[in-house]
Chains A and B, each alone.
Chain A
């Protein structure tokens, strides 16, 4: 079980904190699956996805650093964190197919989170919209790769 702490999204800061936590968890999920002997056939894909999620942390931190303009910062009230919390009880020895489905679910939830965050960012921080949309697109592409395993 991966330890995780997903905050309530009440501010841009917590929205970004949630996103960072999603990426951290997604990376760990894929790393664990890559080291599971029953998933050997998908190890390279899991490793690549773990690396992708690690790299996205830097992108998110850069977004928080460069796009944040306190003059248009507004409280966030219309995104319920519980809707986007991902499962962290990574299966062990479940085989590549089921394990890939588990990871695909993480990608799917993340895609939904970023799509909804992009909608919110449109009114508070337009500069972050493109980044969130790009993240969501990437999640869906990752999901497709996993489903193909």
Chain B
């Protein structure tokens, strides 16, 4: 066992970071933050009040014009400094993520890299935010240009599965373009954001530019109620994403709301089976299945079903489940007792629906972590499209194995899902891959890749009920989301 030391065993009562200062919340509502592997309380997070949230927004708005007037090159320098600090702190960040979220340390290191990737990308703001112009664009001697301008204060409401990365899909682009930002982390995993803000504090962003408000519904409602919040970025479940989208419409705010998923991975008869199985392990079991890009339905086409299933079961049985900070663990726990109960409920539902439970992860025991929220790899065979386990988001390490005749049948099944976040195909046939890419209505397509996760310089979001909004997170989409275009038509007499 290669068990790594956590950065701390208890992070105490967490604070808000507002206007460049660490502020204790006066809220009497405080939750324990628990390590999902041990269930030990490792921090206490206050649920900030509406007044505290409002004050953070007011202070950000007051400081906005000064940041808006800061030259993009100077803004970029804050990001370069932050990058240097984050590279230095890389391993500590990863350990905090692993400890509070439960994911394996390698997963957490990969997540940390994605945070830094977004800083790298946002640091290129001097070119990303450029407008464009056309001499004589309006008429002879009358020029026309587009200026890309910031809007003011934005906020993000973040999920529990990527405590590091998700805020970084948004705030670097908002801040780099000259906006102010408030991050509200998930109350289940607020420590990573707290840790990140200690680094942000060192990077020299002016007070008020980037703020942290811990909390839950009172903070979120205040974002909507406050006239100065110009837009909201959200990642979470589909019901909440829908509510966020609707409420943003009613309150006149920009919105990008990423919801749930039910992703299918198709294995064609000509797939390179060993590599396919190995790659799919990361998709179905990485982050204990709690990725919005995680595989959930595995669809075997034709006669690949039996050899695939045999290899899959063997690999699944050999997967080492354990504490994320144990470097040899290949899968960690799910986030909470409630999350575990939900997944166990789906496993029972699958049994009740008549699917064949080939591998049952319900009673797994992890030595030394008996109280942890672990679920072992679970595999259902004979899953049919009408079953709840085939249609609904389970968000756990549960594989629903389907057998289908051909690619068209598989694509039709994918299209019947209300979700459209991701899907993948494993094949050596370019034509099949091309058809799949062309026809499949999902926001992220993998070809021999089980987690089609967009890098920082590409946009990330799904289709259908996996995303509500227009402009995606990250990359150029993020620049557009956080800015408006101003047309200037100029004539000199």
Stretch from A10-18, A51-59, A104-112, A128-136 that touches the partner: A10-18
Near A by CB (< 8 A), chain B positions 42-93 give 87, 90-91
In the docked arrangement, what's the CA distance between A69 and B318, Å? Answer: 23
In the docked arrangement, what's the CA distance between A17 and B109, Å? Answer: 14
Q: What is the minimal beta-carbon distance from B281 to any residue of chain A, in angstroms?
A: 6
Cβ of B286 within 8 Å of any chain A Cβ, yes or no, is yes
In the docked arrangement, what's the CA distance between A44 and B2, Å? Answer: 35
Tell me if A13 and B104 are in contact (CB < 8 A): yes
Tell me if A17 and B106 are in contact (CB < 8 A): no
A8-B279 contact, Cβ under 8 Å, with A66-B113, A70-B106:
no
- A75 interface neighbour in B91, B105, B319, Cβ under 8 Å: B319
**Which 6 A-B pairs rank lowest in CB-CB distance, beginning with the nearest?**
A70-B110, A13-B327, A71-B451, A7-B2, A13-B106, A74-B278
Q: What is the minimal beta-carbon distance from A49 to any residue of chain B, in angstroms?
A: 26
Cβ of B330 within 8 Å of any chain A Cβ, yes or no, is yes
In the docked arrangement, what's the CA distance between A11 and B110, Å? Answer: 13
Q: What is the minimal beta-carbon distance from A125 to any residue of chain B, in angstroms?
A: 10
Tell me if A123 and B275 are in contact (CB < 8 A): yes
In the docked arrangement, what's the CA distance between A73 and B275, Å? Answer: 12
Complex interface bits, A14-45 against B, C-beta within 8 A gives 1, otherwise 0:
10010000000000000000000000000000
Cβ of B35 within 8 Å of any chain A Cβ, yes or no, is no
Cβ of A148 within 8 Å of any chain B Cβ, yes or no, is no
Tell me if B320 and A65 are in contact (CB < 8 A): no
* Chain A residues with CB under 8 A of B194: none
A69-B110 contact, Cβ under 8 Å, with A7-B2, A74-B281:
yes
Tell me if B279 and A69 are in contact (CB < 8 A): no
Interface residues on B, range: 20 to 34
Complex interface bits, B349-380 against A, C-beta within 8 A gives 1, otherwise 0:
00000000000000000000000000000000
**Highest count of chain A CB atoms <10 Å: which of B87, B275, B279, B327:** B327
Cβ of B449 within 8 Å of any chain A Cβ, yes or no, is yes
Q: What is the minimal beta-carbon distance from B451 to any residue of chain A, in angstroms?
A: 4
- A12 interface neighbour in B106, B111, B278, B329, Cβ under 8 Å: B106
In the docked arrangement, what's the CA distance between A8 and B449, Å? Answer: 26
* Chain A residues with CB under 8 A of B278: 74-75, 123-124
Cβ of A87 within 8 Å of any chain B Cβ, yes or no, is no
Q: What is the minimal beta-carbon distance from A94 to any residue of chain B, in angstroms?
A: 33
Tell me if B109 and A13 are in contact (CB < 8 A): yes
In the docked arrangement, what's the CA distance between A30 and B451, Å? Answer: 43
* Chain B residues with CB under 8 A of A10: 320, 328, 330
* Chain B residues with CB under 8 A of A66: 113
Q: What is the minimal beta-carbon distance from A75 to any residue of chain B, in angstroms?
A: 5
In the docked arrangement, what's the CA distance between A14 and B110, Å? Answer: 14
Which partner residue on chain B sits nearest A5 by CB separation? B2
Cβ of B411 within 8 Å of any chain A Cβ, yes or no, is no
Cβ of B282 within 8 Å of any chain A Cβ, yes or no, is yes
Which partner residue on chain A sits nearest B314 by CB separation? A77
**Highest count of chain A CB atoms <10 Å: which of B2, B113, B278, B328:** B2
Tell me if A7 and B328 are in contact (CB < 8 A): yes
Cβ of B100 within 8 Å of any chain A Cβ, yes or no, is no
In the docked arrangement, what's the CA distance between A5 and B328, Å? Answer: 13
Majority-rule SS of B interface residues = helix
Complex interface bits, B424-460 against A, C-beta within 8 A gives 1, otherwise 0:
0000000000000000000000000101110000000
Complex interface bits, B1-13 against A, C-beta within 8 A gives 1, otherwise 0:
1100000000000
- B449 interface neighbour in A5, A17, A72, Cβ under 8 Å: A72
- B327 interface neighbour in A14, A65, A71, A75, Cβ under 8 Å: A14
Q: Known pairs A10-B320, A13-B105, A17-B327. 14 more at Cβ < 8 A?
A: A7-B1, A7-B328, A10-B328, A12-B106, A13-B109, A14-B328, A69-B113, A70-B113, A70-B114, A71-B110, A71-B451, A75-B320, A77-B315, A77-B318
In the docked arrangement, what's the CA distance between A5 and B327, Å? Answer: 13
Cβ of B393 within 8 Å of any chain A Cβ, yes or no, is no
Tell me if B319 and A70 are in contact (CB < 8 A): no
Complex interface bits, B268-281 against A, C-beta within 8 A gives 1, otherwise 0:
00000001001101
Complex interface bits, B110-122 against A, C-beta within 8 A gives 1, otherwise 0:
1101100000000
Cβ of B107 within 8 Å of any chain A Cβ, yes or no, is yes
Cβ of A47 within 8 Å of any chain B Cβ, yes or no, is no
Tell me if B107 and A65 are in contact (CB < 8 A): no
In the docked arrangement, what's the CA distance between A13 and B282, Å? Answer: 14
- B109 interface neighbour in A5, A8, A68, A123, Cβ under 8 Å: A68
In the docked arrangement, what's the CA distance between A14 and B113, Å? Answer: 18
* Chain A residues with CB under 8 A of B282: 70-75
In the docked arrangement, what's the CA distance between A86 and B54, Å? Answer: 61
* Chain B residues with CB under 8 A of A14: 2, 327-328
- A74 interface neighbour in B113, B279, B453, Cβ under 8 Å: B279
Cβ of A137 within 8 Å of any chain B Cβ, yes or no, is no
* Chain B residues with CB under 8 A of A126: none
Q: What is the minimal beta-carbon distance from A108 to any residue of chain B, in angstroms?
A: 25
**Highest count of chain B CB atoms <10 Å: which of A14, A72, A74:** A74
A-B contact pairs, 5 of them (CB 8 A): A7-B327, A11-B104, A17-B2, A75-B278, A124-B278
Which partner residue on chain A sits nearest B446 by CB separation? A71
Complex interface bits, A60-86 against B, C-beta within 8 A gives 1, otherwise 0:
000011101111111101000000000
In the docked arrangement, what's the CA distance between A143 and B350, Å? Answer: 58
Q: What is the minimal beta-carbon distance from B355 to any residue of chain A, in angstroms?
A: 25
In the docked arrangement, what's the CA distance between A70 and B318, Å? Answer: 20
In the docked arrangement, what's the CA distance between A10 and B322, Å? Answer: 12
